Amino acid sequence: MLANVPRLKALMRKDGFDAVIATCAENVTYLSGFWAMSQWVRRGPQAYVLFPGEGHEPTIIVNSSLLDLVPDQNPWISDIRRYGYFQIDTDRSVQLDAADQLQHQLFSSKAYKNSVDALVGAMKERGIERGTVGIDEMGITPQCMDQLQAALPDIKFVRCFSLFERVRAIKTPREIEILRHAARVTEGAIDAALSIAKEGVTEREMLRRFNAHLVENDAAPVVGCIGFGNRSAMINVQPSDRKLKNGDLIRFDVGGRYRHYRSDMSRGAALGDPGEKIRKYYAAVEKGVLRGYDIIKPGLRVADLFKEIVATVQREGIPHFARSHVGHGIGVDGYDPPNIAASSVDVLEEDMVICVETPYYELGFAGLQVEDMVRVTKDGAESLMSLPTGLRIL
């Protein structure tokens, strides 16, 4: 299971929720394991998970047009309610295999008129008609929210996207396994991109090679910032026809999605000697990340992690180094809690998975960045990375 259900239940009790409802793609998949394709690729399609807490069964609510995804995905929640019309025929002359039997059964179930009707039906059956219910406000449309409140006027609906974020901050073993694999595939894609580095190769050609490695390993491209020379200072540099020249720095800030989970990492390389300033500054940002490994452990205040990493980069070669954050959690979303910032009130906990990063952007010069994916262990830090952090000279 992806979701940290004990933590969800604990936070629901703490916040006084009688039930919570996931509505955005990330939270629906996180909570149920069910990937409702249309809500991942468009705005508007509605899929929900009703999680009523103790004593009641959770429910997945999904458009009829997505029911075929159930057999292959085999979500742990078995109560699935559909809405909307979708025509499926069945060959009565053959013995259906197990997947087709399950589909046939799902398509024979009651079709609610729309997503809110299905949700309200499931809530009423469970006796949830008053009290306080958390609603993830990031996926339900305002129109559906209006309908839901009108259908259940005695319920106090409270926005709870941030509760889901707090639950997601502490990863389950299955999530860690997926994130580890996502990191490995993305590192392979960096290697693949750098394998074609030579004078005259373009940023775009390197991105194509990077993305090809991802898709050949069943991951999807998400962030592919690859910049050469002074373009490496562009924060989100989108690969162009800029050609690689001798002495150029190459900055990667890249990530993909593997089994719905994100990777996010950064490395630098150079074609030949990039010069003293780049070497010195790169070593400074690298030492900032390495300092993170020294001190990360459960109980460390995130604000202290921020301060110590920034101070390290300043001391090691970039005295004016300044940042809003030096990392963030990662999971089904690219930015889970904690945000590693001076203002954070969070404390590191075991099985957080965080990106630690120290990017430095200087227009007219270069962008230098090291970003690692790191798991907080019982008594320290485990890197999910295998690529060396050092500046790679090609």
Question: 196-235: which residues touch its own copies (CB under 8 A)?
Answer: 204, 208, 211-212, 214-216, 218, 220-223, 230-231, 233-235
Find the binder of its own copies among 5, 53, 100, 243 (CB under 8 A): 100
In whole angstroms, how close is the CB of 370 to its own copies at the nearest point?
17
Question: Is residue 379 a contact residue for its own copies (CB under 8 A)?
Answer: no
In whole angstroms, how close is the CB of 116 to its own copies at the nearest point?
16
Site for its own copies in 22-81 (CB under 8 A): 24-26, 37, 41-44, 65-69, 71-72
Stretch that binds its own copies, among 135-143, 243-251, 268-276, 380-388 (CB under 8 A): 135-143
Q: How far is CA 131 from the centre of its chain?
A: 32
Quick one: which of 370, 363, 182 has its CA closest to 261?
182
Match 């989100």 to its residue by tokens. Answer: 236
Site for its own copies in 240-259 (CB under 8 A): 240
In whole angstroms, how close is the CB of 210 to its own copies at the nearest point?
9
Stretch that binds its own copies, among 20-28, 125-133, 265-273, 342-350 (CB under 8 A): 20-28
For the beta carbon of residue 146, count every other beta carbon within 10 angstroms: 12
Rounded distance between C-alpha atoms, residue 159 and residue 157, angstroms: 7
Find the binder of its own copies among 109, 238, 246, 343 (CB under 8 A): 238
Q: How is 14-83 classified by DSSP, letter by letter?
A: HHT-SEEEE-SHHHHHHHHS---HHHHHSSS---EEEE--TTS--EEEEEGGGTTHHHHH--S---EEEE
Site for its own copies in 264-303 (CB under 8 A): none
Rounded distance between C-alpha atoms, residue 134 and residue 99, angstroms: 34
Contacts of 17 (CB under 8 A, 6+ apart): 53, 132, 133, 134, 158, 160, 163
Question: Is residue 237 a contact residue for its own copies (CB under 8 A)?
Answer: yes
Site for its own copies in 359-378 (CB under 8 A): 360-365
Question: Is residue 111 a contact residue for its own copies (CB under 8 A)?
Answer: no
Match 């693949």 to its residue by tokens. Answer: 192
Burial annotation 68-95 (CB, 10 A radius, 16+ → b, else e): bebeeeebebeebbbbbeeeeeeeeeee
Find the binder of its own copies among 57, 79, 85, 109 (CB under 8 A): 85
DSSP 8-state code for residue 274? -
In whole angstroms, how close is the CB of 368 to its own copies at the nearest point?
11
In whole angstroms, how close is the CB of 248 to its own copies at the nearest point?
15
Give the residue with the Cβ less far from its own copies, 6 or 44. 44
Question: Is residue 96 a contact residue for its own copies (CB under 8 A)?
Answer: yes
Give the residue with the Cβ less far from its own copies, 322 or 345. 322
- Do 145 and 29 contact (CB within 8 A), yes or no? no
Rounded distance between C-alpha atoms, residue 389 and residue 371, angstroms: 8
Find the binder of its own copies among 77, 138, 151, 387 (CB under 8 A): 138
In whole angstroms, how close is the CB of 29 to its own copies at the nearest point?
12
